[in-house]
Amino acid sequence: MENIRIYVEETEGEFREVEAPIDMGLSLMEILKASEYPIAATCGGMALCASCHIEVLEGDAYKEASDAELDMLDTLPVVSDSSRLACQLRLSEDMDGLRIRLLATEE
């Protein structure tokens, strides 16, 4: 498989398709930043700042959060049941078709 497709909510109900390679070991946060979405990702991918907080609207990617990630999510005032830190999602084949919403865009 070459690339997968991720769908990012732009405005309510409207999605933009983002194509992402899966052979480079990138995280979802990295591909979102590269696609110029306004997420800070301040800590650089260590699950320390939650500034890449997203909600998975469709897809199974929320099943395997690590303890470090759950701990960080737990400190946030607002999370949903399918909240994730994009930096902790390593792009893989089974994420093809994932639909997400950004929850931590920069002010």
Partner 1 sequence: MIHTDICIIGAGPVGLFAVFEAGLLKMRCHVMDVLPQIGGQLSEIYPKKPIYDIPGYPVVLAQELVDNLEKQIEPFNPTFTLGERVEKIERLEDGAFLLETNEGTQCQAKVVVIAGGLGCFEPRKPALEKIEHFEGNGIDYMVRNPDKYTDKRIIIAGGGDSALDWTIFLAEHTEHLTLVHRGSSFRGAPDSADKVLKLAEAGKITLHLNSQVTALHGNGVLNECLITDKTGKASKVATDYFIPLFGLSPKLGPIAAWNLNLDRNQIQVNTEDYATNVEGIYAIGDINTYPGKLKLILCGFHEAALMAQSAYRTVSGGKKASLKYTTVNGVQSF
What is the binding site for partner 1 (CB under 8 A)?
Answer: 38, 40, 42-44, 46, 48-51, 70-72, 74-79, 106
Dihedral (CA of 87, 81, 19, 93) sign:
positive
Q: How many CB atoms lie within 10 A of CB 8?
A: 21
Smallest distance, partner 1 to C-beta of residue 26, A: 15
Smallest distance, partner 1 to C-beta of residue 48, A: 6
**Residue whose CB is less far from partner 1, 50 or 98:** 50
Smallest distance, partner 1 to C-beta of residue 46, A: 7
Determine contact, residues 66/88, Cβ cutoff 8 Å: yes
